[in-house]
Amino acid sequence: MAQEAENKDIDQYHYSRNLDNAVQYLSFALGKEEYGVDILRVQEIRSWEPVSRIPNVPCYEKGVVNLRGSIVPILDLRERFNLSKAEYTPLTVVVVLQTGDSNKTRIMGVVVDSVSDVISVDKTEIQSAPDFGTKVSNEFINGLVSVNERMVMLLDVDKLLKLEELDQDES
């Protein structure tokens, strides 16, 4: 009982404190690390299904799937961040994200190990990311935040989904 009440208190605390400049993030796990993306960018969460491979592209671009009639590319975040590969199981999750500006939006799916939670983050509590060296490319990370003693890395969806070769290809 006491535990429950305490939890409630914490929730209440989070709730009221974050009203002003709270941003909600969807957090998910890659191995032991936890990442978050702006929840407004998340279109849906799907289970992994086999993709159609695209020839001659970087290995983290797994391929494309048919998402209700549109062709949507799937990126593997583990491979994107040079983490160790994991087998795809029926529990593997694809988070479908929207990116782009008002003129043109793109939809892409990213493969993650599992989706954990929706977290409310006070903007003022976001710390800038220290230099990670090479393991996780710093450029994708907007900042860090700690939630219940866990560190969550907040990802910049636009940078994450920007396919580098895109412009060169078209020239």
Which residues contact other proteins (rule: CB under 8 A)? 19, 50-57, 63-66, 69-73, 103, 106-108, 163, 165-166, 169-170
Q: How far is the CB of 42 from other proteins (least distance, A)?
A: 15
Q: How far is the CB of 63 from other proteins (least distance, A)?
A: 8
Q: CB-wise, 55 or 130, nearer to other proteins?
A: 55
Q: CB-wise, 42 or 136, nearer to other proteins?
A: 42
Q: CB-wise, 63 or 143, nearer to other proteins?
A: 63
Q: CB-wise, 19 or 118, nearer to other proteins?
A: 19
Q: How far is the CB of 93 from other proteins (least distance, A)?
A: 19
35, 113, 148 from 83: Cα distances, Å: 13, 12, 24
For residues 112-146, one letter each, b for 16 or more C-beta atoms within 10 angstroms of the residue's C-beta and e for the rest, the string is bbeebeebbbeeeebeebeeeeeebeeebbbbbbe
Q: CB-wise, 36 or 109, nearer to other proteins?
A: 109
Q: Are 41 and 98 in contact (CB under 8 A)?
A: yes
First-last CA distance in the chain: 65
Among 156, 113, 131, CA closest to 25: 156
Q: How far is the CB of 57 from other proteins (least distance, A)?
A: 7
Among 102, 110, 109, 111, CA closest to 70: 109
Q: How far is the CB of 99 from other proteins (least distance, A)?
A: 9
